[in-house]
Amino acid sequence: PGPYLEMFARHPSPKWTVWGDESAEDHLPRGKVHKGYTGGEMLPPLGANEHISPSLAVDLGLELKNRYEAGNSVREISDETGYSIQRVRGLLAGANTTMRPRGRLPK
């Protein structure tokens, strides 16, 4: 087939030989978006008690602040990133995020 071969392809590619049951142009891929990845940049995985550089803390804090201010809860951010709730709160505090009251809002 040549030097350009992709096994289990989901889309046809010019100049590539693609094999896979989803590689035909008229076929809609049935794949799913996995937790933590929606097609954009991913945040780095951090182990428990792992130290991070101040510059990384600033970058992560700003990204988490954007998510929080877009309406995500601390728990949702924790679930999406794999970071502990305490780490999320710490990074949000470092980014000077105005926090909402804890718990659900009364109806």
pLDDT for residue 37 is more than 60: no
Indicate yes or no: pTM above 0.75: no
Rounded-to-integer distance, Cα 12 and Cα 4, Å = 12
Q: How many residues does the chain have?
A: 107
For residues 77-106, one letter each, b for 16 or more C-beta atoms within 10 angstroms of the residue's C-beta and e for the rest, the string is bbebbebeeebbbbbbebbebeeeeeeeee
| pLDDT tens figures, 55-94 | 999 999 999 999 999 999 999 999 989 999 999 999 999 9
Residue 21 has pLDDT above 90, yes or no: no
Instruction: List the structure tokens of 105.
Output: 């809002």
